[in-house]
Chains A and B, each alone.
Chain A
């Protein structure tokens, strides 16, 4: 009885380590990320690709109201997986930090610096009583000094840099797919194809073009841009990812 109570205490207090050195609430937050639909990021020689599964739970839901990929600044996009509401707070933080950098230095913020502003903020919610960690992981992708950079944030507040990465549901399977298929020196179009194929690899009945969101930031223009529904549908058809049950 006594032992069980102690066990529950590590479980509940965000600021309390378990005897084996774990922060259970942070681990539970990672589970919350897994419950979200997947997002994929791919770094190519000439830009960053972000792709997200945003299938709707009802045909009556307006697709555009499902926010998975966000523009943080002209040169940076952010994709999320997990609690959308938590993600929105972090995206707003990122947008503000990006503008503060413009005000302070008259320059666009680096992708690494922006990621670390966000992860430092997330970390504070793993070490403060009364707070709950962010139940969301982010992919922060953009151009820094002419180079594409792709970072992941996780609920512990640790930043990771990737060549290609998946977050959210089916992460492991998609990551395995990326590890098998990723090639250095791919162009942006190949990156879009890889991201779509990665999302399709875990879908039983093919990819629904209206249920994915794709955005890129290319080195040439250093501008974030979303692909239209038609552009995505075109590529899904071309890559034969649609499956039979669609349309």
Chain B
């Protein structure tokens, strides 16, 4: 309320609704994006909805400039909500900061209002932050379960939020989509979707130089989020 004097300790009611509550984007701005030295995930991340929940699968490789493998066991899917997970795609630093920010916003929302955020609410918030924030080029997948069922969204660096039954982001996108378009069908079980997602990450890992080194799989159901990593694809199945 700009017509009232700011009283000490008063909540800033004119705070930007597109920014995190606990830090403004100005404070978070961390210098320029040095494309050559920033660690990127390259990445293949996949989200598939089923009636039982959501499956998310990601590869485990981080690289610099898409030419050098800087980490072979990175977990690219993280829980950010009691029943939702987000993938890291793009700049690792940007994606990690994005995850921390969304997680604390979702927690604040839940303790204040006594119920967890809906998936559409979380997706809108994530889109707002991606659009205005200092997160570099990230294009994560948000997958989760709420009262309305299972949801998967892809979020692009400009803040675009698109919901789908299944979606893929990252440099291995086109290869993974080949597998999904061939084998995805309505009514797959969680178990079948899990196998399909792993298969698609496997295909992308074979041909995309920025994807590889194994697979992390997250299963998100109404009960919660279960994430496990596998160094080889055989072990994951």
Query: B-contacting residues of A (Cβ < 8 Å)?
Result: 89, 92-93, 96-97, 100, 103-107, 110, 112-113, 116, 120-121, 124-125, 128, 131
Contact = CB atoms under 8 A, between A and B. Distances in A.
B10 A124 contact: yes
Contact of B120 (A106, A112, A120): A106
Interface in B1-33: 1, 4, 7-11, 13, 17-18
Contact of B13 (A97, A107, A125): A97
Contacts of A106: 120-121, 123-124
Interface string B103-118: 0000000001100011
B7 to A, nearest CB: 4
Contacts of A100: 17
A131 B13 CA distance: 17
Given A104-B125, A104-B128, A105-B125, A110 B13 contact: no
Contacts, number: 48
A120 B11 contact: yes
Contacts of A97: 13
Contacts of B117: 105
A106 B121 CA distance: 6
Given A89-B1, A124-B7, A128-B8, A103 B17 contact: yes
B54 to A, nearest CB: 20
B113 A128 contact: no
30 contacts: A89-B4, A92-B1, A93-B1, A93-B13, A96-B1, A96-B13, A97-B13, A100-B17, A103-B18, A104-B17, A104-B18, A104-B125, A104-B128, A105-B117, A105-B118, A105-B120, A105-B121, A105-B125, A106-B120, A106-B124, A107-B118, A107-B121, A113-B112, A113-B113, A116-B112, A121-B13, A124-B9, A125-B7, A128-B7, A128-B10
Chain B contact residues: helix, strand, loop or mixed? loop
A44 to B, nearest CB: 23
Interface in B88-135: 112-113, 117-118, 120-121, 123-125, 128
Nearest to A131: B7
- The 9 residue pairs across chains A and B that have the minimum distance between CB atoms: A106-B124, A105-B121, A103-B17, A104-B17, A128-B7, A100-B17, A107-B121, A124-B10, A105-B124
Contacts of A104: 17-18, 124-125, 128
B113 A110 contact: yes
Interface residues on B, range: 20 to 34
A106 B128 CA distance: 10
A195 B120 CA distance: 37
A168 to B, nearest CB: 24
Given A104-B125, A105-B120, 19 more contacts: A89-B1, A92-B1, A93-B1, A96-B1, A96-B13, A97-B13, A103-B128, A104-B18, A105-B118, A105-B121, A105-B124, A106-B120, A106-B121, A107-B121, A107-B124, A110-B113, A113-B113, A124-B10, A128-B10
- Which of A100, A105, A110 has its CB near the most chain B CB atoms (within 10 A)? A105
B1 to A, nearest CB: 6
Contacts of B121: 105-107
A189 B124 CA distance: 38
A78 B22 CA distance: 30
B48 to A, nearest CB: 23
Contacts of B125: 104-105
- Which of A92, A104, A125 has its CB near the most chain B CB atoms (within 10 A)? A104
A165 B4 CA distance: 30
Contacts of B4: 89
A133 to B, nearest CB: 13
B88 to A, nearest CB: 23
Nearest to B121: A105
A107 B128 contact: no
A106 B17 CA distance: 11
A100 B18 CA distance: 9
